[in-house]
Chain A
Amino acid sequence: MKCEELLAMLNEYVDGGIDPGVCEQFEKHLVGCNPCQVVVDNIRKTITLYKAGEVYELPVAFRNQLQSALRAKWAETRGSSK
């Protein structure tokens, strides 16, 4: 397996959906290839960092606006049951 072949299978390897036979070849390549090892590690860390990224809070004024809009929509589409 060459580096570029490994690249095409990177998603499956990182996500754990790789065919066991291919996985063996993939890992055999990794053992002898520092750059690919580091690329795989970099990708994993990249994903981890984005996953752990901050959640944006809704501005208070917008939260209120959203609630009013939902209530108006409810009244409009479901009549005045509430």
Chain B
Amino acid sequence: MSEPVTDGELVRRVKVGELEAFELLAGRYSRKVYSLARRIVQQEQDAQDVTQQTFLSALEHLDGFREEASFSTWLLRVATHAALKVIRKRKGLPTVSLEANTEPQEGYDTVPHPEYIADWRESPEQLVGRNETSRLIDEALQELDEKHRAIFLLRDVEGLSVKETADALGISEANVKVRLLRARLQLRERLTQKFGDPERRFQPHQHVETASL
């Protein structure tokens, strides 16, 4: 068995003119890019468009890829940009985000307190792989706005660091952290309403309630 060729080696081969090397990279990452796109744009045709744009753009700009980040992180960044652009277009907003220049620091005071607190009836291992679970986690994800959705997906599903997520979205690391917390708490709330055991439910502590009155 020969060692699998690294992404870095394939990137070098593309740069010297091997199309096959790029096709191998596309084969490695097309499902990852398509899955991320599906989850951000929540629509199959748009996800295909985003995936195609991502690989075309990667092919076009590969010479400018400086290999500081891994190829997959770079690709996910390109895909996230394309996906958010599709959403802005859908909403009739300008497709160039001005957020990076105008972005205010978001505070923790707007982070919602947990309301429905209960132990889950089953473990994630038991829940995973069921159609019902996939449907419920997709629904919960859809309820997040795209900014929070993209951050949660890049950081918690794709495993990018806070800095890589911030770079991918052109926002500050501090805002990545606050938004990630909001996203996690909102998803926790929704999923616990579905998977929580009402008989093992806890009321939030008194001082939390007093503070939020």
A67 to B23, Cβ gap below 8 A? yes
Cα–Cα distance between A62 and B111 once the two chains are bound (Å): 40
Name B117's contact: one of A35, A47, A50 (CB within 8 Å).
A35
Residues of B contacting A82 with CB < 8 Å?
A: 17, 19
Q: Which of B25-62 contact A (CB under 8 A)?
A: 26, 30-32, 34-35, 38, 44, 47-48, 51-52, 55-56, 59-60
Q: Is A45 an interface residue (CB 8 A)?
A: yes
State whether A53 touches B26 (Cβ < 8 A). Answer: no
Closest B residue, CB atoms, query A17 = B162
CB neighbours (8 Å) of B207 from chain A are: 2-3
How many residue pairs link A and B with beta carbons under 8 A? The number is 144
Q: Is the CB of A35 within 8 A of B204?
A: yes
Q: B120 touching A65 by the CB < 8 A rule?
A: no
**A69 and B157 form a contact (CB under 8 A):** no
A9 to chain B, nearest CB (A): 9
Is B22 touching A3 in the complex (CB atoms < 8 A)?
no
A49 to B127 CA separation, bound complex (whole angstroms) = 8
Total interface residues on B, CB under 8 Å, equals: 57
Asked if A45 and B26 sit within 8 Å, CB to CB, the answer is no
- In the bound complex, do residue A4 and residue B113 qualify as a contact, i.e. CB atoms below 8 Å apart? yes
Is the beta-carbon distance between B211 and A4 smaller than 8 angstroms? yes
User: How far apart are A24's CB and chain B's nearest CB, in angstroms?
Assistant: 20
- A76 vs B31: C-alpha distance in the bound complex, in angstroms? 25
- Binary B-proximity of A42-72 (CB < 8 A = 1, otherwise 0): 1101111111111111110011011101110
A39-B48 CB under 8 A given contacts A3-B207, A50-B187: no
Chain B residues whose C-beta falls within 8 Å of the C-beta of A28 in the assembled complex:
none
Q: Is there contact, CB below 8 Å, between A73 and B56?
A: yes
B208 at the interface (CB under 8 A from A): yes
Interface positions of B from 81 to 135, Cβ below 8 Å from A: 108, 111, 113-114, 117-120, 123-124, 127-129, 133-134
The answer, among A4, A10, A38, A73, for a CB contact under 8 Å with B208, is: A4
- Does B188 belong to the interface (CB within 8 Å)? yes
- With A56-B35, A56-B38, A58-B30 known as contacts, the answer to whether A42 contacts B156 (CB < 8 A) is no
Q: What are 14 residue pairs bridging A and B, where the CB atoms are less than 8 Å apart in the complex?
A: A3-B204, A7-B113, A11-B184, A38-B119, A42-B118, A49-B191, A50-B157, A67-B23, A69-B55, A69-B56, A74-B59, A77-B59, A81-B17, A82-B19
* A4-B208, A42-B188, A57-B31 known, 10 other contacts, Cβ within 8 Å: A7-B185, A8-B181, A14-B184, A35-B202, A35-B204, A39-B114, A42-B114, A52-B129, A66-B51, A82-B19
